[in-house]
Structure formats: structure tokens, C-alpha cells
Structure 1
Amino acid sequence: MTLGLISLVFVVSACGFTATEDKEEIPTIKIGYLPITHAIPLYLQDEIVTQGEQDYKIELVKFPSWPDLMDALNTGRIDGASVLVAVAMKAKELGIDLKAVALGHRDGNVIIAGNDIHNVQDLKGKSFAIPHKLSTHNVLLYEMLTREGMQYDDVNVIEMTPAEMPAALAENRIAGYVVAEPFGAQSVVMDNGHVLYQSEELWQNSVDCAIVLRQEFMEENSDLAQAFMNSYVEAGNQAQQKDEHVYEVSSKFMKVDETVMDLSLKWIAYDNLRINEQDYSKLSDYLIEMGLSKKPPAYEDFVDNSLIDEAM
């Protein structure tokens, strides 16, 4: 059991949301994130709320790793997060009352290999990095190996923080990796690796990162939750423009070379961020097949599209 999962077990009984108010009694929603391209709608949403005449504030809380973020979410130190949906599903399975209310993005997960890896078979016996076993990235690796007639155990799968992966590939510590952007594009631009597969080539409409809110927060702040989703959908539409403004705003939250960002954005979509049942069910089936979950939460128990349906 990984450290992240162990922490989940011990926080099942934790409670308490963190929507706070300042001296003017303007509520603040605390949302966790990792500095990745998949969270760009949150960065734009922060600007929308800050510059607009909103009756609430957003505080984006940066975390260095998914276990750290999930610990804060599970214990109520933040109200929600942009997070690996499979990790949030496991938290729900263990008793944490969370709701997935929107996707963070669509597509944009690439499988990267070193320049000495010419095909999937070349990965046999080599080390391959993923950000978390409970991730769509791990599922994509599993699907790729299966299609190529290989076993999952044919490669040495290791968990690694996303930001470390490009350097690890350049230093030949790993033969490849699959992770959130912009770290795939970084290796391609630096000519340290190449794309073996795009996520949509392995799994159309794969579900990866999602916006997850604490159920307690939603129940006690229903109007606030809807206002949050309204601005999030607006931000997603802005992100889909993939223009200079998107780069400028994102640069305040993540330091990425503009050439890397341009390539990364070509691979990602930010429109239509509703979580569909068919796509969610396929992820659940993968998690069971891979032995990562015995009983994933049912779609109707974990996904709440009421906010995004109203916002759209």
C-alpha cells in the first residue's frame, strides 16, 4: 500500500469544510492544485474571480504531490481540488464524502520514451515512471502494454513526482514515463524523448483529472458552489482559446518555457468538461481489472453534474 493510500485510511473520520470569510465577510473557497497544464482553467478562474465583481474569492493552494493534496482534501483543510480522479475515487471508496463535479481537461496525456526506445517492446525490463498507481496514466501504460502483447510486469513501474520525470529520462534513470503536461512536452522540446502514444490513441475520452469538492462544503454552501462552477466553466472556455493570455496567466502559477507550453496546449482540450457516465464506468472497469480497486464508487454516488449542467 502506497503512502498516499495509507494516509487515506487514517483520515476517513476527518470532517469540516474550510470556506472562510474575510473582514468584509466575503467567502473564500480553498482549492488545491499541482502546478500542471491540466489545471489551467483554475488559473484563469482565479483571474476571473479576482478581477470581476464576484461575491466570493478563490484561494488556490499549491501542493508538491498528490498524497499531500489528498491529505488536505480528506481532512477538510481545503474545500476542493483539481486531482487525479482515480485517487479521489479511492478516497470515496474508503469513506471520504467527495463529489466530482467537472473534468480538469480532456486528452493531453502522452506516453514519452527515451530516444533509444524505438517501440513499446524496447521497454521490456526497463524502468518506466508514473505519477501514481491510482491514475489514468497508469491505466494508459497498462493498455499500451496489453495492446502490444506485453505484461504489466514486463516493465519496472515506479512512482515519481511529475516534475522529476524529464530529468530522470535525460539522465537515463528511466526509459520512459506518462504524466500530466507540461512534462511530456518538455522532453520532446529538449529532444530528450519522443511520443510513443497519445492518450486518445489508447483510450478515447479518458477521464484523468477532475474538480472534486467536499460534499459537506456543497451542502452548506450550495449557492457558492454554483457560483464557483459558473466561473470555472467560463475559465475552461477561455483556456480553450490557447492564446497569449492563457500563457501569461498560467505563468503566474507554473514556470514553463513558451515553446513547451505551446506544444503542451496542442495536446489538451478544455471545453466540454462534463463527466460522462460511459467514460467514468470505463475507468472503474480498468481499476478493477488492474486490481487497484475492489468496488469503485458508482457514478451516481460520486459524480454530481448538477452544477456544471446549470452553468452550461
Structure 2
Amino acid sequence: MAIIAVLLVLSACSSAGNGKEAKPGNEKKRIVQIGYLPITHAAPLYIEEELGLADGGYDNFELKLVKFGSWPDLMDALNTGKIDGASVLIELAMRAKEQGVDLKAVALGHKDGNVIVAAPDINSVQDLKGKPFAIPHKYSTHNVLLYQMLKGAGLQYTDVEAVQLPPAEMPVALAEGRISGYVVAEPFGAKAVVIDKGKVLFQSEELWPESVDCAFVLRGALIKDEPNIAQELVEKYVAAGKVAEQKDQQAKQILKKYMNVDDNVLELSLQWIKYDELKLDEASYEVLRQYMIEMELSEQPPTFEEFVDNSLIEKVL
């Protein structure tokens, strides 16, 4: 007992002298990891991280953005809990939710900003019949836009050869004649137009006003178990969206830090996209649900109540 008492005294002295004792307000913050692909549609995330660093961080957490090279890689990390959330194609997140992954959409990534790009010799939708047309993923708003365009022109989805390509490869494939058109996230649509290898056949709002594309999703556990972090995360995200919508030099410099993009391409890309009104409304979501069923992408896509959590963004707005 005497030996134990001496050891306790020595331990206390050591702790008092090593400077490592916890101090109020000096605890290590929780690191929140959010995944993204380097596209214009994730601009609010880039700005949120940069503004957070400039302002000295957040009250409840530290934000770390994690870059991915493909949607499957990002979804694998999100579904397995390796990251806490992501800016992602909403259809992929809906599919994961349908399969039992606890995800919630808390905001949109953007509004509009998807263009149907075609080769210079394509002058109408009918000209695409029998030709290869690229989309980034089967579960994407881009695939839905292709379906809508063909349906509106009296064609079947099978009248074109839909091929899945990585977004960065699409402008090159169009320039080389391997595809006759594509629809994808920015800035890859603008790239083909700027280098004069493609032209805009349709803007997304011409085919589907208020279309739903990328969403900011969080794992349900973060919202439930760490509500203060989730609330601050969304609050800063909405503020970053307002900065992105200004499309000024500050916003452009931040975007270029996260994306390898030419100034002219970025300028054109930003003309097509909006970052205000990032709240996901039920009417727009229901249109997407019905298209997923009609296209046989999903038998029972999650309902608005099951998948969307607007409680965080409503507190901000």
C-alpha cells in the first residue's frame, strides 16, 4: 500500500509537470470527413472548408474534405462509414438508402448547371439516333435528362447507345469522335464548348425545370448522435452557397484550388449553375422518384419523409 501511495504521488507530480493535462476549451475537436468529386457542383463544400480555415475553424468540429476519383469509390466510403457525408449524385444516395444504408439528404449541391453537349454535326435529337451518348452513371440525373430528351423527341431510350464514362474523359471522347454527345456535371460540359469541340443542345432547365441533381448527404448517425455538429455544418454550408452564388474572384479562386480548370471554362460553367435556394423541396423530389420508377432504376425509391431531412437547413433559413 505504501508503494502504491508513492506511485500515485509520483504520477500526479508527473502529470502536473508535463503540460499535457486537458484544459477547458482546449480539447481536440471531432474531425468530420466529407467526400466529393472535383466538380463545380460541389462548390459550397470547397468554400465552406476555405472559409472555415480563414475564420479559425468551427465551434464543434474540424472539417476535412476527402477527394475521390469516382462515384463508386465515394459511395463505398460513405456506405461503410469511412466518411461522414458527401456531395453526391442524389440517385446514388437514394439507392443506398433503399438498400438499408442510413443516409439523409440535408441540402442540395446546386440548381441547374447540367447541359446536353453534342458534336458539331449533331443538330437535333433525331441526329443522335443509333449513336453513342455518354453519361457518368446509370443512377444519375444526367441519365434522367437523357431519357427526358429522347422521350420529348419521340424516341426510345434504346434509340441511342448510352455509355458510362468518367466525366473527365467525356470532352476528349467527343473531340475524338468516340461519342456523339454527353451530359455530365460541370465543368466538363463547358470544356467541350470552350475548345469548340461541342455545342449545347439543351440546358437542363429546358428539359426539367428545378431538376434535382447533386445533394449534400450526411450519415444518419451524425445527425442523431451529434446534432450540434450537424447543425453547424449545414449552417456554414448555406453561408458558403451564398458566397458561391456571387461568382466573384474570391469564389473562383477557391474553386480553382479544388479543381484543375481553365479560367474560360470555369467562367462559362458558372454562368449555367446556381447555388441559392439549396433546400430540397418535396415536389421536385417526387418528380425524380417517379422518373426512377418509370426508368426501372428503382422499384421503391425512398419517400421524401424517409430520405430528406430539412430540419437543419430550415433552422438556418
Q: For 1:242 and 1:260, how far apart are their aligned partners in 2?
A: 13
1:36 aligns with 2:35: no
Match of 2:67 among 58, 62, 68: 62
Moved more, 222-231 or 43-52: 43-52
Which amino acid letter does the alignment assign opposite residue 274 of structure 1? K
Amino acid at match of 1:70: M
User: Given that residues 50 and 57 in structure 1 are in contact (C-alpha distance below 8 angstroms), is that contact kept between their aligned partners in structure 2?
Assistant: no
Offset of residue 251 of structure 1:
1.1
Matches within 5 A, 1:125-204: 125-204=130-209
Indicate the structure (1 or 2) with the bigger Cα radius of gyration: 2
State the Cα deviation string for residues 68-96 of structure 1 (Å, max 9, x = none).
00000000000000000011000000000
User: How far did 1:24 drift?
Assistant: 4.1
Shift of residue 60, structure 1, vs aligned partner: 0.4
Is there any run of 5+ residues in structure 1 with no aligned partner, and where?
1-22
Q: 2:294 aligns with which of 289, 299, 303?
A: 289
Q: How well do the aligned residues superpose, as a CA RMSD in angstroms?
A: 0.8
Q: Take 1:221 and 1:252, find their aligned partners in 2: how far apart are those partners?
A: 30
Secondary structure at the residue paired with 2:258?
Answer: coil
Determine the structure 2 residue equivalent to 1:52. 55
Structure-2 separation of matches of 1:135 and 1:249: 26
Q: Distance in 1 between matches of 2:79 and 2:205?
A: 31
SS in 2 for 1:251: helix
CA offset digits 1:118-158 (Å, max 9, x no partner): 11111011000000111110000000000101010000001
Instruction: State the TM-score, normalizing by the size of structure 2.
Output: 0.90
The residue number in structure 2 matching 1:252 is: 257
Task: Tell me if structure 2 keeps the 8 A contact 1:45–1:231.
Answer: yes
Give the corresponding residue for 1:223: 228
- Structure 1 runs (4+) deviating above 6 angstroms are none
What's the CA shift for 1:217? 1.4
Q: Judge conservation of contact 1:130–1:179 (CA < 8 Å) in 2.
A: yes
In the alignment, the residues of structure 2 paired with residue 174 and residue 57 of structure 1 have an alpha-carbon distance, to the nearest angstrom, of 43
Say which SS state the counterpart of residue 279 (structure 2) adopts.
coil
Cα distance in 2 between the residues matched to 1:296 and 1:51? 40
Deviates most, 45-54 or 230-239: 45-54
Residue 71 of structure 1 pairs with residue 76 of structure 2: yes
Q: Is the 8 A contact 1:33 1:69 kept in 2?
A: yes
Partner of 1:266: 271
Name the aligned partner's letter for residue 83 of structure 1.
Answer: V
CA distance in 1, matches of 2:283, 2:134: 28
Q: Hey, what does 2:14 align to over in structure 1?
A: none
* 8 Å contact from structure 1 (residues 106, 269) kept in 2: yes
Amino acid at match of 1:192: K
CA distance in 2, matches of 1:181, 1:59: 23
* Alpha-carbon contact 1:111-1:197 (below 8 Å) kept: yes
Uncovered stretches (5+) of structure 2, i.e. residues with no partner: 1-25
Question: 222, 236, 240: which one pairs with 2:241?
Answer: 236
TM-score, L = length of structure 1: 0.92
Q: Count matched residues.
A: 290
Note the C-alpha offset of 1:28: 1.3
- What is the alpha-carbon distance in structure 2 between the residues aligned to residue 58 and residue 129 of structure 1? 34
Provide the secondary structure at the position in 1 that maps to 2:178: coil
Matched residue, 1:19: none
CA–CA distance in structure 1, aligned partners of residues 316 and 80 of structure 2: 28
Would the aligned equivalents of 1:111 and 1:176 in 2 still touch at CA under 8 Å? Answer: yes
- 2:158 and 2:303 map into 1 onto residues whose CA distance is 29
Q: Quick one: distance in 1 between partners of 2:178 and 2:251?
A: 33
CA distance in 1, matches of 2:183, 2:62: 34
Of the three residues 289, 308, 311, the one matched with 2:313 is 308
- For 1:3-37, what per-residue CA distance to the aligned partner results, in whole angstroms no more than 9, with x for missing partners? xxxxxxxxxxxxxxxxxxxx941111100000000
